[in-house]
């Protein structure tokens, strides 16, 4: 195994009290356990050994849950968002304007653009920076700190 999996007590899993089939193979394995083991970089075969079922069953359950390929999607999410926003722009034309209101297309494009920028770590809004206002607020805070009276009781023997 790539990363040691924590001990899983198959007899105390949630679900039916009998977690073994007639062949002694585990059943009713919560998908959360399979996902956790998958996220610890265990192969399907390793997960199958841990939970006492076939690698094929593990793979089928992970595929149905949408886990297979998820890391690849996450790593390329900004590009996927960019491609989808391009598709929306490509759809804006005479034919699409007859079917889909322009406001809906442009709103969808704007949302995808913002999400792409977030994924790339780019700004999605403009924050006003006013150095003189910042300095004025700093001076106000310094003056407030100068006016603070220390009321902490002195303990005998402390200087």
Task: Indicate whether this model's pTM tops 0.75.
Answer: no
pLDDT tens-place string over residues 7-64 = 555 555 444 434 455 554 556 889 999 989 988 989 999 999 999 889 999 999 998 8
Distance from C-alpha of 135 to C-alpha of 137, rounded to nearest angstrom: 5
Range name among 75-84, 92-101, 131-140 with the lowest pLDDT average: 92-101
In angstroms and rounded to an integer, the radius of gyration of the C-alpha atoms of the chain is 29
Tell me how far apart the alpha carbons of residues 30 and 22 are, in angstroms, rounded to a whole number. 19
Say what the pLDDT of residue 94 is: 63
């Amino acid at each position: 195994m790539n990363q040691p999996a924590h001990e899983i007590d198959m007899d105390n899993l949630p679900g039916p009290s009998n977690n073994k089939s007639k062949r002694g193979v585990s059943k009713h394995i919560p998908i959360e356990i399979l996902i956790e083991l998958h996220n610890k970089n265990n192969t399907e075969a390793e997960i199958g050994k841990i939970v006492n079922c076939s690698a094929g069953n593990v793979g089928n359950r992970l595929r149905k849950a949408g886990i297979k390929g998820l890391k690849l999607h996450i790593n390329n999410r900004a590009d996927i968002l960019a491609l989808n926003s391009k598709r929306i722009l490509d759809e804006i034309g005479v034919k699409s304007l007859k079917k889909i209101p322009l406001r809906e297309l442009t709103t969808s494009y704007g949302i995808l653009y913002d999400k792409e920028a977030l994924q790339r770590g780019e700004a999605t809004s403009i924050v006003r920076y006013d150095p003189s206002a910042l300095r004025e607020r700093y001076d106000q805070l310094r003056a407030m700190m100068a006016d603070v009276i220390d009321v902490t009781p002195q303990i005998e023997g402390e200087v």
